Protein backbone atom coordinates (compact mmCIF):
# COMPACT_ATOMS: atom_id res chain seq x y z
CA UNK A 1 0.00 0.00 0.00
CA UNK A 2 2.74 2.44 0.95
CA UNK A 3 4.65 1.64 -2.24
CA UNK A 4 1.58 2.31 -4.35
CA UNK A 5 1.07 5.67 -2.61
CA UNK A 6 4.66 6.56 -3.42
CA UNK A 7 3.93 5.78 -7.07
CA UNK A 8 0.73 7.87 -7.04
CA UNK A 9 2.64 10.78 -5.51
CA UNK A 10 5.35 10.54 -8.21
CA UNK A 11 2.73 10.50 -10.98
CA UNK A 12 1.50 13.91 -9.79
CA UNK A 13 -2.16 13.28 -10.56
CA UNK A 14 -3.72 14.80 -7.44
CA UNK A 15 -7.27 13.57 -8.00
CA UNK A 16 -6.11 9.98 -8.35
CA UNK A 17 -3.89 10.34 -5.29
CA UNK A 18 -6.88 11.62 -3.31
CA UNK A 19 -8.95 8.60 -4.33
CA UNK A 20 -6.15 6.20 -3.38
CA UNK A 21 -5.64 7.87 0.00
CA UNK A 22 -9.37 7.80 0.75
CA UNK A 23 -9.69 4.16 -0.27
CA UNK A 24 -6.69 3.12 1.82
CA UNK A 25 -8.19 4.81 4.86
CA UNK A 26 -11.16 2.43 5.04
CA UNK A 27 -9.33 -0.88 5.62
CA UNK A 28 -6.93 0.83 8.01
CA UNK A 29 -9.87 2.10 10.05
CA UNK A 30 -11.39 -1.35 10.37
CA UNK A 31 -8.08 -3.07 11.09
CA UNK A 32 -7.46 -0.83 14.09
CA UNK A 33 -4.95 1.58 12.52
CA UNK A 34 -7.19 4.53 13.20
CA UNK A 35 -4.55 7.25 13.29
CA UNK A 36 -3.18 6.22 9.89
CA UNK A 37 -6.71 5.95 8.52
CA UNK A 38 -7.62 9.46 9.63
CA UNK A 39 -4.32 10.83 8.36
CA UNK A 40 -4.89 9.38 4.89
CA UNK A 41 -8.56 10.35 4.78
CA UNK A 42 -7.87 13.91 5.88
CA UNK A 43 -5.06 14.27 3.33
CA UNK A 44 -7.38 12.90 0.65
CA UNK A 45 -10.01 15.51 1.49
CA UNK A 46 -7.45 18.33 1.51
CA UNK A 47 -6.20 17.30 -1.95
CA UNK A 48 -9.76 16.93 -3.23
CA UNK A 49 -10.60 20.45 -2.04
CA UNK A 50 -7.49 21.77 -3.85
CA UNK A 51 -8.54 19.97 -7.05
CA UNK A 52 -12.01 21.47 -6.61
CA UNK A 53 -14.13 18.75 -8.22
CA UNK A 54 -17.40 18.35 -6.27
CA UNK A 55 -17.67 14.60 -6.91
CA UNK A 56 -14.12 14.01 -5.69
CA UNK A 57 -14.68 16.13 -2.60
CA UNK A 58 -17.88 14.21 -1.89
CA UNK A 59 -16.09 10.87 -2.29
CA UNK A 60 -13.34 11.86 0.12
CA UNK A 61 -15.81 13.34 2.60
CA UNK A 62 -17.53 9.95 2.92
CA UNK A 63 -14.31 8.31 4.09
CA UNK A 64 -13.16 11.12 6.35
CA UNK A 65 -16.59 11.47 7.99
CA UNK A 66 -16.76 7.72 8.57
CA UNK A 67 -13.34 7.81 10.20
CA UNK A 68 -14.19 10.71 12.46
CA UNK A 69 -17.47 9.22 13.61
CA UNK A 70 -16.04 5.73 14.09
CA UNK A 71 -13.27 7.20 16.25
CA UNK A 72 -15.88 9.05 18.31
CA UNK A 73 -14.85 12.54 17.20
CA UNK A 74 -18.48 13.57 16.97
CA UNK A 75 -18.10 17.32 17.46
CA UNK A 76 -15.45 17.50 14.74
CA UNK A 77 -17.32 15.11 12.48
CA UNK A 78 -20.83 16.55 12.67
CA UNK A 79 -20.30 19.68 10.53
CA UNK A 80 -18.47 17.59 7.94
CA UNK A 81 -21.30 15.05 7.95
CA UNK A 82 -23.73 17.92 7.35
CA UNK A 83 -21.53 19.09 4.46
CA UNK A 84 -21.50 15.54 3.11
CA UNK A 85 -25.29 15.38 3.19
CA UNK A 86 -25.70 18.67 1.32
CA UNK A 87 -23.04 17.73 -1.20
CA UNK A 88 -24.52 14.28 -1.75
CA UNK A 89 -28.02 15.67 -2.22
CA UNK A 90 -26.72 18.17 -4.75
CA UNK A 91 -24.86 15.42 -6.63
CA UNK A 92 -27.73 12.92 -6.21
CA UNK A 93 -25.22 10.50 -4.66
CA UNK A 94 -27.45 7.95 -2.92
CA UNK A 95 -24.57 6.25 -1.10
CA UNK A 96 -23.39 9.63 0.20
CA UNK A 97 -26.89 10.66 1.25
CA UNK A 98 -27.52 7.47 3.17
CA UNK A 99 -24.05 7.43 4.70
CA UNK A 100 -24.43 11.04 5.85
CA UNK A 101 -27.87 10.52 7.35
CA UNK A 102 -26.70 7.47 9.27
CA UNK A 103 -23.47 9.13 10.45
CA UNK A 104 -25.52 12.16 11.50
CA UNK A 105 -27.57 9.86 13.73
CA UNK A 106 -24.37 8.35 15.10
CA UNK A 107 -23.12 11.84 15.97
CA UNK A 108 -26.29 12.60 17.91
CA UNK A 109 -26.09 9.32 19.82
CA UNK A 110 -22.38 9.81 20.47
CA UNK A 111 -23.12 13.21 21.97
CA UNK A 112 -25.93 11.61 24.03
CA UNK A 113 -28.76 13.44 22.25
CA UNK A 114 -30.95 10.35 21.92
CA UNK A 115 -34.11 12.14 20.78
CA UNK A 116 -32.18 13.79 17.93
CA UNK A 117 -30.55 10.46 17.09
CA UNK A 118 -33.99 8.88 16.90
CA UNK A 119 -35.15 11.57 14.45
CA UNK A 120 -32.04 11.24 12.30
CA UNK A 121 -32.20 7.45 12.09
CA UNK A 122 -35.90 7.70 11.21
CA UNK A 123 -34.91 9.96 8.31
CA UNK A 124 -32.37 7.34 7.33
CA UNK A 125 -35.03 4.64 7.29
CA UNK A 126 -37.24 6.84 5.11
CA UNK A 127 -34.36 7.45 2.70
CA UNK A 128 -33.36 3.79 2.47
CA UNK A 129 -36.95 2.76 1.81
CA UNK A 130 -37.21 5.48 -0.84
CA UNK A 131 -34.02 4.31 -2.56
CA UNK A 132 -34.63 0.60 -2.00
CA UNK A 133 -31.40 -0.01 -0.13
CA UNK A 134 -32.37 -2.55 2.51
CA UNK A 135 -28.90 -2.68 4.05
CA UNK A 136 -29.23 0.95 5.16
CA UNK A 137 -32.71 0.27 6.49
CA UNK A 138 -31.15 -2.34 8.77
CA UNK A 139 -28.33 0.00 9.84
CA UNK A 140 -30.76 2.76 10.73
CA UNK A 141 -33.14 0.40 12.53
CA UNK A 142 -30.17 -0.70 14.62
CA UNK A 143 -29.34 2.96 15.32
CA UNK A 144 -32.96 3.66 16.17
CA UNK A 145 -32.93 0.82 18.69
CA UNK A 146 -29.83 2.33 20.31
CA UNK A 147 -31.49 5.76 20.43
CA UNK A 148 -34.60 4.34 22.07
CA UNK A 149 -32.64 2.13 24.51
CA UNK A 150 -29.55 4.15 25.42
CA UNK A 151 -29.00 2.44 28.77
CA UNK A 152 -28.53 -0.93 27.09
CA UNK A 153 -26.26 0.60 24.47
CA UNK A 154 -22.60 -0.34 24.54
CA UNK A 155 -21.93 2.03 21.63
CA UNK A 156 -22.27 5.24 23.67
What is d(CA 50, CA 59) in angstroms, rounded to the nearest whole number? Answer: 14
**What's the domain count of the chain?**
2
Task: Quick: pLDDT tens for 36-78.
Answer: 999 999 999 999 999 999 999 999 999 999 999 999 999 999 9
Give me the pLDDT at residue 114, please.
Answer: 94
Q: Are residues 22 and 67 in the same domain?
A: yes
Give pTM, 2 decimals: 0.90
Please report whether residue 78 resides in a domain: no
pLDDT in tens, 1-26: 778 888 888 998 999 999 999 999 99
> Of residues 153 and 43, which shows the higher confidence score?
43
Max avg pLDDT among 56-65, 127-136, 144-153: 56-65
On average, the pLDDT of the chain sits at 93
Q: What angle do the packed helices 2-11 and 14-30 form, to 10 degrees?
A: 160
Residues 114 and 66 both lie in one domain: no
Q: Does residue 126 belong to any structural domain of this protein?
A: yes
Residue 100 phi, psi (nearest 5): -65, -45
The whole domain housing 128 covers 93-151
Amino acid sequence: MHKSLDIWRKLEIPGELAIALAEFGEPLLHSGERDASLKYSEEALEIAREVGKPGLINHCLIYYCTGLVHTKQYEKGEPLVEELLLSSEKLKNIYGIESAIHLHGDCAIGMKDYKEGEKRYALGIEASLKYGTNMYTAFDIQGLYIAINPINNSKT
